[in-house]
Amino acid sequence: MIMQSLAGRALLCLLAGSVFTLGLAPFDLKLLSLASMATFVIALTGQSWRQSLLLGWCYGLGFFGAGVSWVYVSINVYGHAPLALALTLTTLFCAGLALLFAIQAAVLSLLRPTQAGLRIALFACLWVAFEWLRTWLLTGFPWLFAGYTALDTVVAGWAPVIGVLGVSLLIAVTAAGVAELVIDRSVSRGMLLTTWIVLLASTGYLLGLAEWTEPAGEERTVAIYQPNIALEDTWDRNNAPILLGDFLAHAKAHAPSSNLVVWPEGALPFYFDQAPGYMAELRRIGQESDSTIVTGMPTRAGERRFNSIVSVGQSSKTYNKQKLVPFGEFVPLEDSLRGAIDFFNLPMSNFSKGEAGQLPLSSTIGSLAPFICYEIVYPDFVAKGSRSSNLLITISNDAWFGSSHGPYQHFQMARYRALELQKQLIRGANNGITAIIDERGGIVDELPQFERATLEGQVTPREGLTPFARFGSTPILLLSLIFPLFIGIKAKRQRG
pLDDT tens-digit series, residues 398-447? 988 888 999 999 999 999 999 999 999 999 999 999 999 999 999 999 99
Number of H helices, E strands in the chain: 16, 13
Q: Answer whether residue 345 shows pLDDT above 60.
A: no
DSSP letters spanning 29-65: -HHHHHHHHHHHHHHHTT--HHHHHHHHHHHHHHHHH
Mean pLDDT, to the nearest integer, of 241-248?
A: 94
| DSSP summary character for residue 417 | H
State how far the Cα of 395 lies from the Cα of 390, in Å rounded to an integer: 17
Tell me what pLDDT residue 348 has.
57
Question: Which burial class, exposed, middle or buried, applies to 271 when counting CB atoms under 10 A from its CB (0-12, 13-18, 19+)?
Answer: middle
Q: Average of pLDDT values for 183-195?
A: 94
- Which class is 214-465 in CATH? alpha beta
User: What pLDDT does 1 receive?
Assistant: 47
Whether 325 has a pLDDT exceeding 50, the answer reads yes
Span(s) in the chain for CATH 3.60.110.10: 214-465
Helix (H, G, I), strand (E, B) or coil at 100: helix
Computed from CA positions of residues 318, 323, 329, 331, in that sequence, does the dihedral angle turn out positive or negative?
A: positive
Number of neighbours of residue 422 by Cβ within 10 angstroms: 23
In angstroms, the Cα distances linking 161 to 52, 102, 354, 421, 470 are: 34, 31, 29, 9, 9
Helices marked H in 394-437 = 406-421
Sorted by sequence, the CB contacts under 8 Å of residue 477 that are 6+ apart come out as 128, 129, 132, 165
pLDDT in tens, 357-402: 998 998 999 999 999 999 999 999 999 999 999 999 999 999 888 8
**Which entry of 317, 321, 323, 423 is annotated as an active-site residue?**
321
pLDDT band of 82, cuts 50, 70, 90: confident
Residue 224 near residue 434 (C-beta atoms within 8 A): yes
Active-site residue (options: 131, 265, 329, 446): 265
Confidence bin at 3 (pLDDT 50/70/90): low
pLDDT at 143 over 80: yes
**Cα 219 from Cα 239, distance rounded (Å):** 37
Question: Pick the residue with more confidence: 490 or 44?
Answer: 44
Q: Which is catalytic among the residues 30, 180, 373, 375?
A: 373
Residue 127 in this model has a pLDDT that exceeds 80? yes
Sign of CA dihedral 145, 149, 152, 155: negative
Mean pLDDT of the chain: 93
Alpha helices in 134-275 (DSSP H): 159-183, 187-207, 231-235, 240-254
CB 372 within 8 A of CB 307: yes
**What distances in angstroms separate CA 348 from CA 80, 264, 344, 400, 413, one per listed residue?**
16, 16, 11, 13, 25
Q: What is the reported pLDDT for 336?
A: 46
| pLDDT above 60: residue 459 | yes
Query: Catalytic residue at 373?
Result: yes
pLDDT at residue 239 greater than cutoff 70: yes
